[in-house]
Amino acid sequence: MSHEKNSPTIADWGEFGFIEALGASLPEASGGLKLGLGDDAAWWAPAQRNGILTTTDMLVEGVHFDLSYTSAADLGYKSLAVNLSDLAAMGGSPSCVYLSLALPVQTKKTWLEKFVDAFLLLAKEHGVQLAGGDTVKAGELVISVTLSGLAPAGNPILRSGASAGDDLYLSATLGDSFLGLQLLSGRMSSPAALKESTTFLQTRHLRPSPRVALGEMLAASGAVTAMLDVSDGVFSDLGHLLTASGGLGAEIDCVGLPLSVAARHFLEANLVDYETLLAGGEDYELLFTAPPERRLEIESIAVNAAVNLTRIGRVTAETGIYMLVDGSLRALGGRGGYDHFQHQGC
């Protein structure tokens, strides 16, 4: 984690020293959070709306991240960002977060400080307060984050509400994180002419943008029938949505897929294809459905949220996911997303 051989480790700091320092750096509890760090449990009394949404995520060294190319700050940011994305996918408003860390004793104090600083900076950006957590000694780094927030005033947007005929939308762009990971891990080489594109794609992997405000706007509109965030890949996550909605299918127009300039450079250089981009994960963009008659509302939300929303296809009554290529439909299959019990390593 650090090449500074003589710098203090968390063993020198101690668990209680770390907790005391962390508590001193936090603002006083406010809003619905009555009591955060310092007691046996947090006390959260949020204003009544339509219930509380809670999501949790665990990141394990060597499975979810590689410290050889992931900085402490990037990891701190992403640890919270992936949870914010889950709440965004249901239209929730994040409020309180709980951070638990299993840390090797050789972890450098400066590394942990950078991790926490980036975590708290993103939390502040989204009005989230650190309300508690835990720390333990371990042989490898494990990060567990639990995030709670308020459900939208109507109902949370579920995966299960899509209908045949609905439009299929994706926020921002597709495949950037996948390409960034391939470049960071050395599985893909980048031509010198694409250096600027490479930097952009790597940043998109290390620092995804959780679409919290967009999720809240989509929920408030009442136009969205089903939604989730793209963590395992568009193909895999779309399959989850279609299954939850009763076993529907979808047609995706590859010409309409939203690609960043950087990703398009790699596509045009034949370093990647559309199917691979659809299978790649960790974009943490919102994938959702809405009836065709709500298109003008969706366009308006895109403008207000300052996030591109692209209609990439439609939901069908027939099962299966198909891609429209040169006027012909081709079945997509065998390109599923990440499965923790079928994959090895990052």
- CATH number of 310's domain: 3.90.650.10
**Would you say residue 47 lies in a domain?**
yes
The reply to whether 273 falls in a domain is yes
Residue 217's Cβ-count burial label (10 Å; 0-12, 13-18, 19+) is buried
Computed on alpha carbons and rounded to an integer, the radius of gyration of the chain in Å comes to 21
Tell me the per-residue pLDDT of 180-226, one tens digit each, with 9 for 90 and over. 999 999 999 887 778 889 999 999 999 999 999 999 999 999 999 99
When divided into structural domains, the chain yields a total of 2
- pLDDT exceeding 90 applies to what percent of the chain? 75
Question: Same structural domain for residues 198 and 291?
Answer: yes
- Please provide the average confidence, as pLDDT, over all residues in the chain: 90
Give the length of the chain: 346
Residue 200 and residue 233 in one domain: yes
Residue 288 belongs to what domain range?
167-332
Instruction: Please count the CA atoms within 13 angstroms of the CA of 64 that sit on its side-chain side.
Output: 18
Domain membership of residue 337 (yes or no) is no
Please give the pLDDT value at position 339.
Answer: 46
Is the per-residue pLDDT at 12 higher than 60?
yes
Confidence of residue 230 (pLDDT cuts 50, 70, 90): very high
